[in-house]
Structure 1
């Protein structure tokens, strides 16, 4: 039951289907399905109430096998986008607030079981946008990373902690001036150094929150490389935790396959070829092979 009305588009006009506060039952849904209606509408003034309703019920919706997986995938992306956009578009983001962490934590908990399903990545893939925004990028990296985590012998708790780190890996970019983040053309040396501060900013924004070291490592080290040329600490080899290597590869792949202010999106095969041929010293090639297998299984490549 939500505090919003549901409308249908019929005969060139919007027609009320259920009123605010009225329970939207299985019978309502079956009637829509039998009538061939695939889209319903809410008023713009009631959008916030609709979004709250979806967020509160996300776990139940994602695991509802009576709903088409494509519909659940769309809802997953819409709900996650609303929460992350709220985090990244805030003014003066000196710290991540506890209420934001609570919302993000629920997103991670509710979506991991959904993303563990065999066909979930292929169902989610059509909703992956090629228009770069920090919050959509974080969502993509989370999806790719969780798909990879599932191929390793990780506990449910570990997948949650690393998944939270993946979703928040770029939270520190909320403190980077937008004129630098959205700059068209190459960055100056000084601008690149400012960008490279975002992992440390991310950890400082989360310092007061109850996060495990596993989650913090993902935020702090996701730009570290196996050859030690990364930042902020220049750690290398076995000192780069395996989950961080997974997030790092997912991060690189999504950046390459997304339109950015200074570069057009590559096709998946083109991006993977570049990683294999030009970044062999930076990324874990065993993780890379698993990543290719996961993407192939989802028919993304």
Structure 2
């Protein structure tokens, strides 16, 4: 039951099917299926109410095995992307609002078990856009990272903390001028230095929120490299936690396979070959092998 009305398209016009506040029952669904009706509609003015309903009920939707996996996957991707887009569109100059943080933690809590379900990652493949936007990039890094986390001996709380960090890893880019983020062509040295500030900005924006150190590490250290050549701290080897290495690799892979203002998108095999051949001193190759296995198992290569 939602605070939005549902309409059908019939003989060239929209017909009210269930009104706002009226319960949509299994009988309603059976009628639609019996008559071959696959599409229902809501008014544009009630879009926010509908989105809020999906977001609030996402956990139930994702674990409802009576629904097709593709439908649950679409609900997850659209609800998650909507939340992340809201976060970045607000710009949050003084820090992330607790309201947005609660929505983000709900997304993580509701989806980490779903992402452990067989075929969930492969079902997400068609929804992953290769047109780079910061909020969709954060979503993709979260999905890839959590899928790999599930192959390790990690508890649910640990996966939640690192998953939250993966989803928020680039939140500091909300403080980077769009003229730099969206610049076509190479950045100047000065512009690159401004970009490099985003991990610190991200931690600063979240300083007032109830985050564990595991979450903070993903935001602050996702551009560190195991050979010590990364930023902002030049961490190397064992100083860089394994889950953060997974987030770093997912970050690199999604960036390479996305259409960016200054670079064409690579095919998955091409991107993985580049990482293996040219970045092997920067990334954990054991994590890389596991990452490739996860993508291969989901038929995403």
Report TM bin, short chain. over 0.9
Report the Cα distance in structure 1 between the residues aligned to 2:124 and 2:279, rounded to whole angstroms. Answer: 27
Per the TM alignment, residue 38 of structure 1 is displaced from its structure 2 partner at its CA by 2.6
Mean alpha-carbon deviation: is it higher for 19-28 or for 286-295? 19-28
Alpha-carbon contact 1:9-1:40 (below 8 Å) kept: yes
**Structure 2 partner of 1:133:** 133
**Structure 2 partner of 1:22:** 22
Task: Please give the per-residue CA displacement for 1:211-240, whole angstroms capped at 9, x wherever unaligned.
Answer: 000000000000000111100000011111
Secondary structure at the counterpart of residue 15 of structure 1: strand
**Structure 2 partner of 1:187:** 187
Report the Cα distance in structure 2 between the residues aligned to 1:183 and 1:235, rounded to whole angstroms. Answer: 29
* Structure-2 change in CA distance of 1:133 and 1:31 (3 Å): same
In the comparison of the two structures, how many residue pairs are matched?
301
| Correspondence 1:278 to 2:299 | no
Mean alpha-carbon deviation: is it higher for 85-94 or for 278-287? 85-94
Across the aligned residues of Structure 1 and Structure 2, the Cα RMSD in angstroms comes to 1.0
**Structure 1 partner of 2:70:** 70
**Structure 1 partner of 2:168:** 168
Alpha-carbon contact 1:202-1:220 (below 8 Å) kept: yes
Secondary structure at the counterpart of residue 248 of structure 1: helix
Mean alpha-carbon deviation: is it higher for 246-255 or for 9-18? 9-18
Alpha-carbon contact 1:171-1:202 (below 8 Å) kept: yes
Report the Cα distance in structure 2 between the residues aligned to 1:81 and 1:201, rounded to whole angstroms. Answer: 22
Secondary structure at the counterpart of residue 95 of structure 1: coil
Per the TM alignment, residue 88 of structure 1 is displaced from its structure 2 partner at its CA by 0.5
Alignment TM-score, normalising by the size of structure 2? 0.98
**Runs ≥4 residues deviating over 6 A:** none
Per the TM alignment, residue 36 of structure 1 is displaced from its structure 2 partner at its CA by 2.9
Secondary structure at the counterpart of residue 17 of structure 2: strand
Report the Cα distance in structure 2 between the residues aligned to 1:144 and 1:260, rounded to whole angstroms. Answer: 19
**Structure 2 partner of 1:109:** 109
Per the TM alignment, residue 91 of structure 1 is displaced from its structure 2 partner at its CA by 4.0
**Structure 2 partner of 1:298:** 298
Secondary structure at the counterpart of residue 122 of structure 2: helix
Report the Cα distance in structure 2 between the residues aligned to 1:36 and 1:229, rounded to whole angstroms. Answer: 59
**Structure 2 partner of 1:121:** 121
Per the TM alignment, residue 92 of structure 1 is displaced from its structure 2 partner at its CA by 4.8
Report the Cα distance in structure 2 between the residues aligned to 1:34 and 1:146, rounded to whole angstroms. Answer: 38
Alignment TM-score, normalising by the size of structure 1? 0.98
Per the TM alignment, residue 32 of structure 1 is displaced from its structure 2 partner at its CA by 2.2
Alpha-carbon contact 2:6-2:19 (below 8 Å) kept: yes
Task: Please give the per-residue CA displacement for 1:3-28, whole angstroms capped at 9, x wherever unaligned.
Answer: 11112233333222211111111222
**Structure 2 partner of 1:6:** 6
Task: Please give the per-residue CA displacement for 1:35-73, whole angstroms capped at 9, x wherever unaligned.
Answer: 333322111100010011111111001111111110111
Alpha-carbon contact 2:91-2:175 (below 8 Å) kept: no
Structure 1: state its 5+ residue gaps: none
**Structure 1 partner of 2:200:** 200
Secondary structure at the counterpart of residue 220 of structure 1: helix
**Structure 2 partner of 1:253:** 253
**Structure 2 partner of 1:100:** 100
Report the Cα distance in structure 2 between the residues aligned to 1:252 and 1:34, rounded to whole angstroms. Answer: 47
Alpha-carbon contact 1:141-1:166 (below 8 Å) kept: yes
